[in-house]
A and B are shown apart, each in its own frame.
Chain A
Amino acid sequence: MSRPDRPRHVGARIQRFEDTRFLSGTARYIDDIRRPGMLHLSFLRADIAHARILDVDTSALADLGFPVQVFTGADIGELSIKAHQDFPEMQYSEQPLLARDRVRFVGEAVAAVVADDPYRAEDAAELVLVDYDPLPTVATMDQARDPQMPGLFDGWRTNVFVERTMRGGDIERARAEAAHVFTRTYSTQRQAGVPMEGRGVVAEYDPADRTLTVWSSTQIPHLLRTYIAEELNWPESRLRVIAPDVGGGFGIKGQVLPEEVLIPWIALKTGRPVKWIEDRREHLTASIHARDHRHTLEAYVSSDGRLLGLKADISVDVGAYSTFPFTAAGDPGMAAKVMPGPYDFQHYEATFRALATNKCPVGTYRGVGRPSAVFAQERLMDDIAKELGLDPIAFRLKNIVRNFPYTNALGFTYDPGSYAEALEKTRDLIANDCAAAAASRTASGKRIGVGIACFVEQSAHGTPDFTRRRVPIETGYIAARIEMTPDGQAIIDIGLQNHGQGHETVLAQVAADGLGVHPHDVRVRHGDTATTPYSVGTWGSRGGALGGGAVHLAATQIGNKLKAIAGHLMQADPATVVLGNGHAHIDGQPSRSVAIATLARAALRNVDQLPQGMGPGLEAQVSLDGPADGTYSNAVHAAVVEIDTRTGKMELKRFVVVEDCGTILNPLIVDGQVRGGVVQGIGSAMLEHFIYDEECQPLTVTFADYLMPLAPEIPDIEVHHIETPTPLTPLGAKGLGEGGAIGPAAAIANAVADALQVSVTSTPLNANAVWRLCSALRGGD
């Protein structure tokens, strides 16, 4: 006998519906938006990292022979990006939409030129002359903390945005009781998401309905709408933000950046549609960077190898400005918050600080603080295990959280997971590699190393988490509205933005189960504030957990109405009605059925057929906030490397993931998200590095300098699943999108440390770094 409401499509490996437009070239990204009479905008950007602006001379633009308009900091008044955390010790920065009296990083926009043609706009922008009076650059974390250095902003005491301490338990007691104290410093390098499509904005004012429309390659259309409305003092009801197809985001497009406010302002000033498309140099120097961290950890360990407590000192170079909506404290605060990880200890203290330098601002990138925290934490676990002569996995199993729900030292409660099981499964999967690594120790030439990273990922966190952090994001909910059409199809309007995550497929699967229709009959719309309910957008691994949850709840409401109508039409108790395969039938009596399309038509057209007292219509809207502490996904990553100690050449031989994201909604998409994240993490571990010189000149401004993983150097990524559904979201799904990127730096560094029997304290582990680490094995050179 079939059970009512049994999921049929959730969990199925369904090919993505959205693929056809991407494969055929019919997708429409930001640069494909064209409006009649559109102007093209090009920026003149600062080529010096820190200077007073004495003069901006635009006189050469008068003789170009074609019309241009130019805007500078003098034109924009007080318009700026403000990203303040509501803490008394926070030092505020405001990033003017165009630099006014001072530039603070190479790439900061100084003048904006519009012309009828993008080539001509670029020609004209090059003719803007800026007279700079250079100021000393703040280039390093140590310089940022030096009170002798000039402040980046008037009135600043030192170049520290904020420094705070988090405490739980009694760290002094842990120190007093410890048999061993381990102090280590680990660092990760400046890097970023670097989507293949850069950013871009188009804005147009329509005087007919007094509406300003802004197209932006963004993950957060509603938050952008609110920011523009408040900054430009424009009625939000007459502002529409559309994110068209977005060619990758990874968090980079999850903040409001100056161009997204400036271009609409210029469209209003000129009365013409205006387009700006970021070029790659602009993207690499002046969008968002991430992960420039240095962590000093002190671990207190008992004589029998139990972690008693952990003290952390976390510094992050966050660049020249605080970014909206997660602020300068976003990356360091997240690292401090998640550092306790999957281990059971109750004494923890972390001091974190956000340091201002003359570099590109730091913002969110897949994992946000966690990749650096997990790198430090998991390197430390291996360093401790090695000193104590313990097997790394056995040491972790001794300290792993096993009883759920578990409340950690900071008071965050972890929902059920599979931490120990994932470690044990990984141990079995890599047993042969560990043996090969041990055997290679005595060999000269090539060494094999195996490393793991074990972590939890707080995902889909709800409003209380943001209230605690007092960040302007303020909340974390996703809303879904579902409406059925008289032919029995359904439209989902979702407050997420789909830029590769497969929402148009997964959410259709979820709705199809609730409505009894086929996923093909469910259309998903997103990314347009005119059609979708207010939501925070796509970030923080909440698409499946909260977006899917909201769709499930809304579809269930509509499904219940369909059952009531079906019961009425078939003269049966609605509780006995089952929905599926496009029909409603009486449970156990498949021949007694009525088409969903008939029910939809009754609800919307033939309303005389409805039960007494039932109103017409088939729609529902549900907003779903995240759990207060979020839901915790967990994973273990394992890397196997082979290093030629004579040359430093390292090959990544194998990468294994054992992950638990709760209920799997579509395994095809889950595997894709995990693998893609892992490969970005491999880039973090081995390649990607934004380098600045001592004057804060960026040295990595093309893809020939900023190296990302290419197909030949990447092995197949083996993905194994454990499913521990969470009770905290409607479908049992936990966050998934970011986890893949969190573990690789730690796992690969641990593999290198294992292969060479050295401590590894920083990334990237590129050819130079590995060659240097090999020097001891070569007898020093």
Chain B
Amino acid sequence: MIEVTLEVNGTKRSLSVEPRRLLADILRQEFNLCGVHIGCAHGACGCCTVHVEGVPRLSCLTFAVQCDGKAISTVESVGGVEADHPLQQAFRSNHGLQCGYCTPGFIMTLIPFVDAMVAEGRMPGDPEIREAMSGNICRYTGYQGIVAAVREAIGDRLGTQR
């Protein structure tokens, strides 16, 4: 067992973990964060995406011990129980989700992309948006609603900046 300190969604906590435990399992079991979903456990579907130090990372390919001292955030920290982050709202208005299982992974993958586009002050084309989500599999929506949601989230923020 190894002692680690994780800062999860803004709260620091020390715990001892087996080196082999996946970050996804620790977040789910020890931190009770059910928004972290395991889709394949081999790094191919993106369902388990969380942020480690602000960067999207697959929590099924990351051991918890690798994150000692690091800040981790999950979908629970994004827009609260009402899911009122602009990207979450855009998913809702564009029917960007159906069963919802892959949704937290998409949200965590796409928030930094939306932020980057807004920072650059430009609206990406659909191929660029689709490329940004190419590490996430959605089996239900056919992606079109998600693409529209990203476009709307970027457009709204570019609009308010002007």
In the complex, A502→B98 CA distance in Å? 7
Q: Which of B51-59, B64-72, B116-124, B137-145 contacts A (4 or more CB under 8 A)?
A: B137-145
Given A24-B76, A25-B35: A16 in contact with B130 (beta carbons within 8 A): no
Is the CB of A197 closer than 8 A to any CB of chain B? yes
B39 touches A197 (CB 8 A): yes
A28 touches B34 (CB 8 A): yes
Is the CB of A27 closer than 8 A to any CB of chain B? yes
Given A23-B83, A195-B101: A678 in contact with B139 (beta carbons within 8 A): no
Is the CB of B21 closer than 8 A to any CB of chain A? yes
In the complex, A18→B100 CA distance in Å? 9
In the complex, A196→B137 CA distance in Å? 8
Q: Chain B contacts of A671 at CB under 8 A? A: 95
B97 touches A196 (CB 8 A): no
Q: Chain B contacts of A668 at CB under 8 A? A: 95
Q: Give A505 Cβ to nearest chain B Cβ, in Å.
A: 10
B44 touches A22 (CB 8 A): no
Q: Give B40 Cβ to nearest chain A Cβ, in Å.
A: 4
Q: Give B35 Cβ to nearest chain A Cβ, in Å.
A: 2
Is the CB of A548 closer than 8 A to any CB of chain B? no
Q: Give B157 Cβ to nearest chain A Cβ, in Å.
A: 18
Q: Chain A contacts of B82 at CB under 8 A? A: 20, 24
Given A15-B92, A247-B37, A279-B41: A25 in contact with B74 (beta carbons within 8 A): yes
Interface centre among A15, A19, A27, A499 (most CB of B within 10 A): A19
Q: Chain B contacts of A18 at CB under 8 A? A: 100
A500 touches B99 (CB 8 A): yes
A23 touches B92 (CB 8 A): yes
The binding surface of chain B is classed by DSSP as loop
* Per-residue B-contact encoding for A653-697, CB less than 8 Å = 1, 0 else: 000000000000000110110011111100000000000000000
In the complex, A280→B139 CA distance in Å? 14
A676 touches B140 (CB 8 A): yes
Is the CB of B20 closer than 8 A to any CB of chain A? yes
B28 to chain A: closest residue by CB: A31
A1-57 contacts to B, CB under 8 A, are 15-16, 18-29, 31-32
A26 touches B141 (CB 8 A): no
Interface centre among B34, B78, B81 (most CB of A within 10 A): B34
In the complex, A672→B98 CA distance in Å? 8
In the complex, A224→B36 CA distance in Å? 28
A32 touches B34 (CB 8 A): yes
In the complex, A364→B107 CA distance in Å? 31
Given A679-B143, A717-B144: A24 in contact with B79 (beta carbons within 8 A): yes
Q: Chain B contacts of A24 at CB under 8 A? A: 35, 75-76, 78-83, 88
Is the CB of A708 closer than 8 A to any CB of chain B? yes
Given A196-B137, A676-B142, A712-B127: A248 in contact with B99 (beta carbons within 8 A): yes
In the complex, A197→B140 CA distance in Å? 11
Q: Chain A contacts of B154 at CB under 8 A? A: none
A703 touches B142 (CB 8 A): no
B137 touches A247 (CB 8 A): no
B41 touches A20 (CB 8 A): no
B124-162 contacts to A, CB under 8 A, are 126-127, 129-131, 133-134, 136-147
Q: Chain B contacts of A679 at CB under 8 A? A: 141-143
In the complex, A716→B39 CA distance in Å? 25
From A26, A193, A197, A711, give the contact of B101 (CB < 8 A).
Answer: A197
Given A26-B81, A196-B101: A711 in contact with B34 (beta carbons within 8 A): no
Q: Chain B contacts of A669 at CB under 8 A? A: 95
B33 touches A711 (CB 8 A): no
Is the CB of A491 closer than 8 A to any CB of chain B? no
In the complex, A708→B39 CA distance in Å? 13
Is the CB of A704 closer than 8 A to any CB of chain B? yes
Is the CB of B38 closer than 8 A to any CB of chain A? yes
Q: Give B131 Cβ to nearest chain A Cβ, in Å.
A: 5
A25 touches B44 (CB 8 A): no
Q: Chain B contacts of A32 at CB under 8 A? A: 34
A16 touches B35 (CB 8 A): no
Q: Give B85 Cβ to nearest chain A Cβ, in Å.
A: 8
A714 touches B142 (CB 8 A): yes
A718 to chain B: closest residue by CB: B144
Given A248-B140, A500-B140, A708-B137: A197 in contact with B130 (beta carbons within 8 A): no
Is the CB of B23 closer than 8 A to any CB of chain A? no
From B47, B75, B103, B143, give the contact of A711 (CB < 8 A).
Answer: B143
B1-56 contacts to A, CB under 8 A, are 18, 20-21, 28, 33-42, 44-45, 47
Is the CB of A443 closer than 8 A to any CB of chain B? no
In the complex, A676→B98 CA distance in Å? 9
B21 touches A119 (CB 8 A): yes
A501 touches B98 (CB 8 A): yes
Q: Chain A contacts of B147 at CB under 8 A? A: 711, 716
In the complex, A563→B2 CA distance in Å? 68
Is the CB of A250 closer than 8 A to any CB of chain B? yes
Q: Chain A contacts of B33 at CB under 8 A? A: 25
In the complex, A679→B98 CA distance in Å? 14
A703 touches B131 (CB 8 A): no
Q: Give B25 Cβ to nearest chain A Cβ, in Å.
A: 8
Q: Give B41 Cβ to nearest chain A Cβ, in Å.
A: 6
B95 touches A672 (CB 8 A): yes
Q: Give B144 Cβ to nearest chain A Cβ, in Å.
A: 5
Q: Give A52 Cβ to nearest chain B Cβ, in Å.
A: 32
Is the CB of A176 closer than 8 A to any CB of chain B? no
A23 touches B107 (CB 8 A): yes
Q: Give B49 Cβ to nearest chain A Cβ, in Å.
A: 12
Given A669-B95, A711-B134: A22 in contact with B142 (beta carbons within 8 A): no
A675 touches B144 (CB 8 A): yes
Q: Give A778 Cβ to nearest chain B Cβ, in Å.
A: 29
B77-111 contacts to A, CB under 8 A, are 78-83, 88, 91-93, 95, 97-104, 107
Q: Give A524 Cβ to nearest chain B Cβ, in Å.
A: 16
B137 touches A703 (CB 8 A): yes
Q: Give A575 Cβ to nearest chain B Cβ, in Å.
A: 39
B142 touches A196 (CB 8 A): no
From B42, B100, B107, B146, give the contact of A27 (CB < 8 A).
Answer: B100
Q: Give B127 Cβ to nearest chain A Cβ, in Å.
A: 7
A280 to chain B: closest residue by CB: B40
A19 touches B97 (CB 8 A): yes
Q: Chain B contacts of A502 at CB under 8 A? A: 98
From A23, A250, A703, A712, give the contact of B130 (CB < 8 A).
Answer: A712
A22 touches B100 (CB 8 A): yes
Q: Give B134 Cβ to nearest chain A Cβ, in Å.
A: 5
In the complex, A249→B140 CA distance in Å? 10
In the complex, A477→B160 CA distance in Å? 51
B92 touches A196 (CB 8 A): no
Q: Chain A contacts of B130 at CB under 8 A? A: 711-712, 714
Q: Give B153 Cβ to nearest chain A Cβ, in Å.
A: 13
A20 to chain B: closest residue by CB: B83
A717 touches B142 (CB 8 A): yes
Given A23-B91, A24-B82, A712-B127: A703 in contact with B40 (beta carbons within 8 A): yes
B98 touches A280 (CB 8 A): no
In the complex, A716→B142 CA distance in Å? 9
In the complex, A642→B88 CA distance in Å? 35
Given A703-B42, A711-B134: A195 in contact with B143 (beta carbons within 8 A): no
B93 to chain A: closest residue by CB: A15
Q: Chain B contacts of A21 at CB under 8 A? A: 100
Q: Chain A contacts of B134 at CB under 8 A? A: 710-712
Q: Give B45 Cβ to nearest chain A Cβ, in Å.
A: 6
Is the CB of A194 closer than 8 A to any CB of chain B? yes
A-B contact pairs, 8 of them (CB 8 A): A25-B74, A29-B34, A119-B21, A197-B101, A279-B41, A669-B95, A672-B141, A675-B144
With A23-B104, A280-B42 already in contact, 14 other A-B pairs whose C-beta atoms are closer than 8 Å: A23-B92, A23-B107, A25-B33, A25-B34, A26-B76, A32-B34, A247-B37, A501-B98, A672-B98, A672-B145, A675-B144, A702-B40, A712-B134, A717-B142
- Leading 10 A-B pairs by shortest Cβ distance: A25-B35, A22-B100, A247-B101, A679-B142, A500-B98, A500-B99, A703-B44, A23-B83, A24-B83, A675-B142
